[in-house]
Amino acid sequence: MEALTSPLEPFNFVTDLKKIESLAQKKSRTHFEFSQWLKTQDPIEMDEIVRQISTTVAAGIDCTQCANCCKALVVAPDYRDVHELANHLEMQTLDFKKKYMKKDTDGDFVFKQKPCPFLKSNRCSVYKSRPQLCRNYPYLDKGNFIATIGRVLSNVFVCPIAFNTLEMLKNKLQPHVIT
Ligand code: SF4
Ligand code: SF4
């Protein structure tokens, strides 16, 4: 497969969250079939293509107008994140856990509230100390795209960057498939 070397075609991004959720639902069968086809492709080459496309998409979407991941997802910080957040808020780690965290049904510590308690006016109020999961979301430029395609197929319901990246990827690799 030829890597992306030329500028990407102009693409109309969908940013309306309700529309994205509805389209993701309608396209779920096609997305699944596409994901199965992706598994037959070169993973390293695919990571590079996805990195280029997702960078273009992320540059065209304003996360401060969206913040949907902070509203819709439950964050599970690890112990380093908790330590960092407690420090940031000048709290003892134990007090932080009591105030903001609970155990979920799998026994993992997660933030009690959804939307995230640190989301203020659509912005992260602990941005410099935000958990690693938040820094990496929606994980498109972190490699292992094919191995983690199941996570991408979930994220397209929530995240405009994930949704539009997948649309552009399908458009580039399987332009003949009607979605
Ligand atoms: S990462 Fe995705 S869901 Fe989160 S704010 Fe940005 S576009 Fe929205
Ligand atoms: S910690 Fe910040 S980036 Fe992470 S979910 Fe909360 S508001 Fe969003």
Burial class from Cβ neighbours inside 10 Å (0-12, 13-18, 19+) for residue 101 reads buried
pTM assigned to the model: 0.91
Q: At what angle do helices 28-38 and 17-26 cross, to 10 degrees?
A: 70
Question: Considering only CA atoms, which residue is closest to atom 4 of ligand 2?
Answer: 134
pLDDT of amino acid 3: 42
Is-contact 167 11, C-beta < 8 A?
Answer: yes
Question: Considering only CA atoms, which residue is closest to atom 6 of ligand 1?
Answer: 63
pLDDT of amino acid 103: 94
pLDDT of amino acid 7: 47
pLDDT of amino acid 2: 41
Reading the block at residue 113, the tokens are: 């509230």
| Nearest by Cα to 77 from 34, 106, 108 | 108
pLDDT of amino acid 11: 67
- The finding on whether 134 has its CB within 6 A of some atom of ligand 2 is yes
- What averages of pLDDT result for each successive group of 10 residues across the chain (179 residues)? 46 91 97 96 96 95 95 95 98 97 93 96 96 95 93 97 96 78
pLDDT of amino acid 6: 43
- Taking the CA atoms of residue 55, residue 59, residue 63 and residue 69 in that order, the dihedral angle to the nearest 10 degrees is -20
Q: Domain coordinates of the chain in residue numbers?
A: 17-69+138-173, 74-136
Rounded to 5°, angle at Cα 31 from 28 and 35: 140
Reading the block at residue 121, the tokens are: 């006016």
The residue behind tokens 């458009």 is 171
Ligand 2 centroid to residue 23 C-alpha, Å: 26
